[in-house]
Structure 1
Amino acid sequence: MPDTRLSNLLNTGQNPTQATDTLLAALGTCQAETILVANEVGLGIIPETPLGRTFRDDTGQLHQRTAAHANNVALMVAVSTCLAQLLCKLAQPASKARGSCPLPPAKWSGPAGDARH
């Protein structure tokens, strides 16, 4: 979601730094547990256009600034449901770790005949 907002700001000529400040201020006053999901940028090809490079750079700044204020940060690439469940449990406080993760049970979708779970 932050990436979409940033893209909209850049396309309309608005200041992404100010928007990031506003986001961080709002998150700082929020009492609820909040999870932000964003696309990874910067590990792939170099964008061809100046706007693409600006988006990549500004997104990286947004991610770094947001991560600096977070209790937990995870980079998940092509993550399986099993790993997502584990990360979900690890992110919970110890008192809640015995509870269930809100993700559905994991199922192995490997080669036929392989019955791992």
Structure 2
Amino acid sequence: MTAESFEGESRSPGLVDGGHPATQPSSAPAASRDELVAIQNVAARLRAAYPQADAATVEATVGTAYGSFRQARVRAFLPILVERRARTVLGAAARAAVGEARTFQPPPAAGSGP
């Protein structure tokens, strides 16, 4: 492709027949088998890294992170981007859970004390 043809191309897909974006055909690239296997491996690594988190929570977090990149045109780095985003969310949830556990003070038992 020449530089002249690139300059003339639209970088974002236009609306078909001037319609609403939600009614337009999806331009999201289909996920390859290798990509799906890589995302499953990400979920397995995160389940191991965050054993305190429910497996369904880890799966949902990975699914949400993966879904946020559904329109990505360059798919080569998708697994690492998904893993970083999911680790950020899971790490924040883990830190919040530890913080709540540290701030909880059970009431003193009746009749004990000075």
TM-score by length of structure 2 reads: 0.28
**Larger RCO, structures 1/2 (Cα 8 Å, 6+ apart):** 2
Structure richer in helix, relative to its length: 2
Q: Which has the larger radius of gyration?
A: 2
TM-score by length of structure 1 reads: 0.27
